[in-house]
Structure 1
Amino acid sequence: MIVEEFFEDYRIGFSRRTMGRTITEADIVLHAGQTGDFFPHHMDAHWCATQDFKRRIAHGTLIFSVGIGMTASTINPRAMSYGYDRLRFVRPVFIGDTISVSATITEKRDHPKRKTHGIAVEAIEIRNQDAETVLVCEHLYLVERRTPAET
């Protein structure tokens, strides 16, 4: 779906939530192959059985990528991702866990150099099937203004 929203249209407090997605062993194996991260925490079930979590954990970067992808349900040609701040892996995700994502606009601010754009900040919270937070971050959007900011 295409939605054209200018910076002025973004509303602090606007929130959205995704459906769930179950993390599989195939997800972990594919992500390891794509990134080269074959650490035993993700790949070695026998070694993991001797560790605190007792089982393999999904890569934090996998959960970040999948979670952000789950929020990408609309295209706004007036906005683009400007990056991510304050990324934290709060709790491990295991094979068979189902994650869902909430995204809430928490801040709007002027761009320090571009008067034709503003920055909208969206708080991302990824939770598992037990409603436990597993990952948080801030997603920054560079959004075109309807009217340039005053200098």
Structure 2
Amino acid sequence: MTTDSPILFYFEDIAEGMSATYAKTVTETDIILFSGVSGDTNPVHLNEEFAETTLFKSRIAHGMLSAGFISTVFGTKLPGPGCIYVSQSLKFKAPVRIGDTVTARVECIGTVPEKKFCLFRTQCLVKGKVVIDGEATVMVPSRG
């Protein structure tokens, strides 16, 4: 039996106020690949000529691409491997464009000990401006 564990934080390790981030610069390739994987071929993401006719005036990244960076924080940093997404609310506040660096941030705002749930405020920011705001519930493995 090994004592090594890929789990970064167990439920008992997480306290209100703990936070973590992940940053990624969105590329043309990211948008094309996300479109292929998700099936979302909305021309506002893929066709500059069409996007110029929208209120955004140019192509924008898929909102769920940026929201996916929140999942990256949960699965790799806080709590880390072994946690399970239970719910997520999202408010999309501003567009993300090719070349923008999106910083996903999660902060623990509470726990539900009887279910081993941690509640998080979730945000994605570009140049300090909130582009996605929300809350998530994550189930976290327990030491016991």
Q: Which residue is 2:64 aligned to?
A: 61
RMSD (CA atoms): 2.3
2:131 partner amino acid: V
The answer to whether the 8 A contact 1:81-1:139 is kept is no
> Deviation of residue 67 (structure 1)?
3.8
CA spacing shift, 1:24–1:144, aligned 2, 3 Å: closer
Q: TM-score, normalised by structure 2?
A: 0.82
Q: Name 1:15's counterpart in structure 2.
A: 19
The offset of 1:143, in angstroms, is: 2.7
Which secondary structure state, in structure 2, belongs to the residue aligned with residue 93 of structure 1?
coil
- Structure 2 CA distance for partners of 1:59 and 1:110, relative to 1, 3 Å: same
* Among candidates 92, 96, 105, match of residue 93 of structure 1: 96
Aligned to 1:126: 124
Distance 1:56 1:123, change over 3 A: same
Identity of aligned residues (%): 28
Aligned residues: 139
Q: Which moved more, 1:102-111 or 1:25-34?
A: 102-111
Gapped regions of structure 1 (runs ≥ 5): 112-116
Q: Establish whether residue 136 from structure 1 lines up as the match of residue 143 from structure 2.
A: no
Paired amino acid for 1:14 = M
Alignment correspondent of 1:51: 54
Q: Indicate the SS of the match to 2:60.
A: coil
Deviation at 1:3, TM superposition (A): 3.9
Choose 1 or 2 for highest CA Rg: 1
Aligned-partner Cα distance in 1 for 2:73–2:10 = 22
Q: Quick one: structure 1 residues 36 and 6, their matched pair in 2 at CA, closer, same or farther if it must change by over 3 Å?
A: closer
Amino acid of the structure 1 residue aligned with 2:116: G
Cα pair 1:71 1:101 within 8 Å, conserved: no
From 32, 40, 63, give the equivalent of 2:35. Answer: 32
